[in-house]
């Protein structure tokens, strides 16, 4: 039962343990998780018993989800990868910045360990200027992106909107009649894309009756208990979502919106988000690795949090966006889709969600838009995963992480100002 309760919701969030070991003490290689044939019992990580989600085992799990559960390929195609040029800079590690909320300045290098960074790449003007790996991640591995997934699902939605395949003003039940009697039915696609739907979906992980656990139980690919009566797939769950509040009045960050968008995309395009992501992006950005989605028991990719990818491929995605959807002289995705993300959404709607650290931001097509003086926008995963695009500084940062606290408020103070400080540094000393 624990396995079902923990389950896939952990791809989006995990309760924080009391006093987690620091990055060095929780280093998966040092702890020897899953090393040996077989690994020692106390270093064996399993899916069914939920042990994969315990910190610090979690730090191994985030780089090995495919070994724990079924997944579907996001093919890169079969050609040669497109190389990212490289000019590494030695002046980044020592860069100092003041964390959000004040306190003593810390260095960029210090922030990486504080944030349990598993890998980070910085592109400046398209060149790799910085790259580090830690934890259980290597340059040949794929790491769970968790809610960064939402931004890619949202990007696919924005692309279909720009191409006219998806009408943002249409009701969701126009595309997915099965959602007519759920709270999603009379929301517009635009409201779904911007998460301004009025739906009941508690992501309070401390509450065992929170909707997020039902969502997770529905999506868990393991067999259900004999007495289980609930929904048995992501799609079945979405049909049960009830209304709370009115559509179009406020931003409310709720994973179910991304899964509903995934369903709308599948119906509008005739392809699952995994197939569409491969066709439109992964095989066109010069990716060096296939990516993958975790799936439920009927093979549905988890559009709200199940994408796993290599670090440099994540950076390639950021670089594509920074260049307005162009790569190598070709328009890969419509510029209008990228521009629509960059412009952002309603600041007033966003303000109502009460993010103390993100004042003045907005949310558009499932991207977080800073509206800072550089026009930066980002994708955010709950354990510190990030894809940060700073158009003015011509900078892209891709970061994968396994912070013990499931919530960006834990890592934002030492990551967001680091990104902006580096942007200013690269502009000052290009």
CB of 344 to a copy of itself, least distance (A): 30
What is the per-residue burial (b if ≥16 Cβ within 10 Å, else e) of 313-350?
A: bbbbbbbbbbbbbebeeeebbbeebbebbbebbbeebb
Residue from 18, 19, 80, 428 that binds a copy of itself (CB under 8 A)?
80
**Stretch binding a copy of itself (CB under 8 A), from 42-50, 104-112, 118-126, 396-404:** 42-50
Considering the rule CB under 8 A, would residue 227 count as an interface residue with a copy of itself?
no
Tell which one of 26, 182, 233, 411 touches a copy of itself (CB under 8 A): 233
* Contact window for a copy of itself (CB under 8 A) among 77-85, 164-172, 181-189, 391-399: 77-85
SS3 62: coil
Q: Which residues of 386-402 are buried (b: 16+ CB within 10 A; e: fewer)?
A: bbbbbbebbbbbbbbbb
φ/ψ region of 137 (left if φ > 0, alpha if ψ in -120 to 50, else beta) reads beta
257 binds a copy of itself (CB under 8 A): no
In whole angstroms, how far apart are CA 280 and each of 218, 235, 264, 337? 29, 24, 17, 13
Applying CB under 8 A, the span of 44-52, 184-192, 209-217, 345-353 interacting with a copy of itself comes to 44-52
For the chain, the farthest-separated pair of C-alpha atoms sits apart, in whole angstroms, at 64
C-alpha distances (whole Å) from 121 to each of 25, 118, 135, 351 are 23, 11, 15, 31
Of 143-151, 189-197, 253-261, 264-272: span binding a copy of itself (CB under 8 A): 264-272
In whole angstroms, how far apart are CA 362 and each of 226, 346, 398? Answer: 44, 6, 20
Q: How many residues bind a copy of itself (CB under 8 A)?
A: 47
Judged by CB under 8 A, the residue of 31, 62, 72, 158 near a copy of itself is 72
Interaction of residue 166 with a copy of itself, rule CB under 8 A: no
Q: Does residue 118 interact with a copy of itself by CB under 8 A?
A: no
In angstroms, give the least distance from the CB of 36 to a copy of itself: 8
Is the bond into 38 cis (omega within 30 degrees of 0)?
A: yes
Stretch that binds a copy of itself, among 65-73, 315-323, 364-372, 375-383 (CB under 8 A): 65-73
Single residue of 89, 125, 174, 267 touching a copy of itself by CB under 8 A: 267
Which one from 26, 111, 147, 151 is the annotated catalytic residue?
A: 147
Residues numbered 134-163 forming contacts with a copy of itself, rule: CB under 8 A: 139-140, 142
Active site residue 63: no
Instruction: Evaluate whether 240 touches 182 at the Cβ level (below 8 Å).
Output: yes
CA 398/CA 409 separation, integer angstroms: 18
Taking CB under 8 A as the rule, does residue 77 contact a copy of itself? yes
Q: With contact defined as beta carbons under 8 Å apart, do 171 and 248 qualify?
A: no
Q: How many CA atoms lie within 13 A of 78 on its CB side?
A: 0
CB closer to a copy of itself, 44 vs 202: 44
Does residue 230 belong to the site contacting a copy of itself (CB under 8 A)?
A: no
Residues in a beta bridge with 364? 367
Instruction: Give the shortest CB-67-to-a copy of itself separation in angstroms.
Output: 5
Q: Nearest CA to 123 among 315, 371, 332, 333? A: 315
Rounded to a whole number of angstroms, the minimum distance from the CB of residue 233 to a copy of itself is: 6
Say whether residue 75 binds a copy of itself (CB under 8 A): yes
Chain residues in the site for a copy of itself (CB under 8 A): 3, 34, 37-39, 44-49, 64, 66-73, 75, 77-81, 139-140, 142, 221-223, 233, 235, 263, 266-267, 272, 288-290, 292, 295, 297-300
Catalytic residues: 147
């Amino acid at each position: 039962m624990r396995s079902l309760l923990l389950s896939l919701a952990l791809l989006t969030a995990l309760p924080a343990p009391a006093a987690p070991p620091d990055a060095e003490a929780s280093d998966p290689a040092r702890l020897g998780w899953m090393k040996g044939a077989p690994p020692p019992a106390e270093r064996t990580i399993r899916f069914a018993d939920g042990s994969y989600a315990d910190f610090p085992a979690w730090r191994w799990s985030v780089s090995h989800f495919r070994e724990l559960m079924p997944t579907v390929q996001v093919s890169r195609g079969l050609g040669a990868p497109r190389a990212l040029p490289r000019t590494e800079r030695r002046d980044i590690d020592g860069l100092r910045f003041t964390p959000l909320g004040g306190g003593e300045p810390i260095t960029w290098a210090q922030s990486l360990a504080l944030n349990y960074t598993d890998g980070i790449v910085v592109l400046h003007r398209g060149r790799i200027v910085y790259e580090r790996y830690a934890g259980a991640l290597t340059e040949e591995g794929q790491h769970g992106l968790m809610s960064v997934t939402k931004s890619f699902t949202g990007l696919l939605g924005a692309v279909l909107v720009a191409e006219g395949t998806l009408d943002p003003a249409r009701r969701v039940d126009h595309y997915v009649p099965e959602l007519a009697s759920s709270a999603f039915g009379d929301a517009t696609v635009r409201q779904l894309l911007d998460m301004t739907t009025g739906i009941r979906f508690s992501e309070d992980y401390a509450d065992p009756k929170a909707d997020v656990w039902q969502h997770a139980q529905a999506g868990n690919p393991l067999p259900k208990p004999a007495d289980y009566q609930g929904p048995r797939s992501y799609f079945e769950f979405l049909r049960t979502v009830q209304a709370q509040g009115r559509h179009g009045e406020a931003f409310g960050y709720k994973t179910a919106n991304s899964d509903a968008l995934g369903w709308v995309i599948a119906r509008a395009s005739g392809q699952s988000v995994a197939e569409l992501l491969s066709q439109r992006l992964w095989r066109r950005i010069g990716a060096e690795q296939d990516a993958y989605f975790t799936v439920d028991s009927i093979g549905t990719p988890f559009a709200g949090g199940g994408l796993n990818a290599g670090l440099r491929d994540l950076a390639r995605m950021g670089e594509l966006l920074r260049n307005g959807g162009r790569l190598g002289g070709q328009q890969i995705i419509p510029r209008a889709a990228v521009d629509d993300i960059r412009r952002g959404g309603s600041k007033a709607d966003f303000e109502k969600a009460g993010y103390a650290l993100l004042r003045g931001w907005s949310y558009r097509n499932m991207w977080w838009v800073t509206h800072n003086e550089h026009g930066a926008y980002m994708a955010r995963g709950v354990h510190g995963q990030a894809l940060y695009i700073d158009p003015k500084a011509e900078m892209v940062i891709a970061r994968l992480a396994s912070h013990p606290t499931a919530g960006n408020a834990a890592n934002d103070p030492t990551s967001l100002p680091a990104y902006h400080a580096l942007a200013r540094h690269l502009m000052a000393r290009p």
